[in-house]
Amino acid sequence: MNFRHYGTFCFCGLLFFHSIGISHGQTPPIRPRAVIVSYFEIGADTGDRPGELQFWVERDHLDRVIEVPGMSRAVRANASGTEIAVAVGPGNINPAVNLMALGADPRFDLRESHWLLNGIAGISPQDGTIGAAVWTDFVINGDLAKEIDPREKPYAWPDGFLSLDGESPADPKGGAGWEDDVRQWSGREARANRRGNVIRLNADLLRWGYGLTREMQLPESAPMRALRLRYGGFAGTKRGPQVQTGANLATEIFWHGRLMDAWAHRWVQFETDGVAHLGTTAMNDTGALLALHALSLQGKADWNRVLLLRTASNFDMPPPGMTAAESLAEERHGAYTAYLPSLEAAYAVGHRVVEAWLK
């Protein structure tokens, strides 16, 4: 399969030729075949406790440091410029701002780049276990909603969330004839709804990436297995971590608990009209993808060349017999039971597709 193009994409407006044209004596732009997008790094890019960026920098020899105005951290690049990596979080707004800044820098020509968005995530024990690697088909922005504090909601409501267009959770989004009914979406190319809170990634590229990695064996340490077994009775924890697919629910709030898990499953189904199923929980990907969509419309990138990989570092709810607060206290950010294994999985699984792009 030719993985250099998936689906058709129509660039709108003037192309970026004026920004990347090369005159006599001008340095040619960097044309990466692969762009790695991560969302946080704990300290330095190398040599300390790793965040999502560090393994890529160290293991792929991304030794060049390129400062870009408007970006939170420097771009890291290999000697040839065929691979670059960035850390652009946290949240949804920072990734969008950072990637627009990257796309505006004339030193980079990103029109034919492939993009791997990757980061750690929460996972429901209904859907998988810690250490799993989840290729994402849909991203849903869970913040774009109406909300009533659950202590004030009507008793019959399942939670306090409802559509921006609704007066109760039973109301359909936008009413009859909603133009963004996901069931009516045709084609397989990347697509966003009118509000940008539901995004479908290129389905052919997703199938290719999943097919390339689905048989990979992911490690499970003794502490990971012990925690998984505490979730007995949940479908997703009957076996160890594997490569799978699913939707990502992106929210600025790091939520946790059984009731929020139930809302997350409901909300993904609601916003995608029953098409998608929850895979992971995080907080960054709608911002990153909408920026890549905007850059695509400007002729500076192609978001049909984007894959999104989330690897599970923690469960999104406590095991039976533990409160949500106790679970949060036990599993701290940066010290989750599967923190380092999830970073290893992100690199191992993600690097397999990056290698293919670099050939």
pLDDT above 60: residue 340: yes
Q: Is residue 20 part of a domain?
A: no
Q: What is the pLDDT of residue 34?
A: 98
> Does any domain span residue 21?
no
Predicted confidence at residue 177, as pLDDT, reads 53
pLDDT at 16 over 80: no
96 compared with 4, residue with greater pLDDT = 96
State pLDDT tens for residues 176-211.
555 578 998 999 999 999 889 999 999 999 999 999
d(CA 122, CA 250): 11
Q: 164 pLDDT band (50/70/90 cuts)? A: confident
Taking alpha carbons only, the member of 99, 129, 124, 79 closest to residue 39 is: 99
Identify the weakest region by mean pLDDT among 137-146, 273-282, 330-339.
330-339
- Which regions of the chain does DSSP assign to beta strands (E)? 34-38, 64-66, 75-77, 83-87, 114-123, 133-141, 146-147, 161-162, 191-192, 198-200, 243-250, 278-282, 306-315
**CATH number (domain holding residue 311):** 3.40.50.1580
Asked if the structure places residue 161 within a domain, the reply is yes
User: Looking at residue 179, what is its pLDDT?
Assistant: 58
Domain annotation covers residue 147: yes
pLDDT given for residue 52 in this prediction: 98
Q: How far apart are CA 250 and CA 95, in angstroms?
A: 12
18 lies in some domain = no
Would you give the DSSP letter of residue 255?
-
Strand partners, 123: 315
For residue 55, report the phi and psi dihedrals to the nearest 5 degrees. -60, -40
| DSSP state string for 284-336 | SHHHHHHHHHHHHHTTS--GGGEEEEEEEEEESSPPTT--HHHHHHHS-TT--
Residue indicated by tokens 């689906």 = 7
Q: Mean pLDDT, the chain, as a whole number?
A: 92
11 pLDDT more than 50? no
pTM above 0.85, yes or no: yes
62 inside domain: yes
Binned at pLDDT 50, 70 and 90, residue 25 comes out as low
Q: What percent of the chain has pLDDT over 70?
A: 91
Range of the domain at 43: 29-358
pLDDT per position as a tens digit, 259-275: 999 999 999 999 999 99
Domain membership of residue 73 (yes or no) is yes
Q: Which of 252, 205, 241, 206 is nearest to 315 (CA)?
A: 241
Radius of gyration of the chain (CA): 20
Other CB atoms within 10 A of residue 52 CB: 24
Residue 7 in any domain: the answer is: no
Assign 36 to helix, strand or coil: strand
Query: If DSSP codes are grouped into helix, strand and coil, which group holds residue 4?
Result: coil
Residue 172 banded pLDDT, cuts 50, 70, 90 = confident
- The half-sphere exposure of 6 on its side-chain side, counting CA atoms within 13 A, is 26
- State how far the Cα of 252 lies from the Cα of 192, in Å rounded to an integer: 19
Encode pLDDT of 70-123 as tens digits: 999 999 999 999 999 999 999 999 999 999 999 999 999 999 999 999 999 999
Count how many domains the chain has.
1
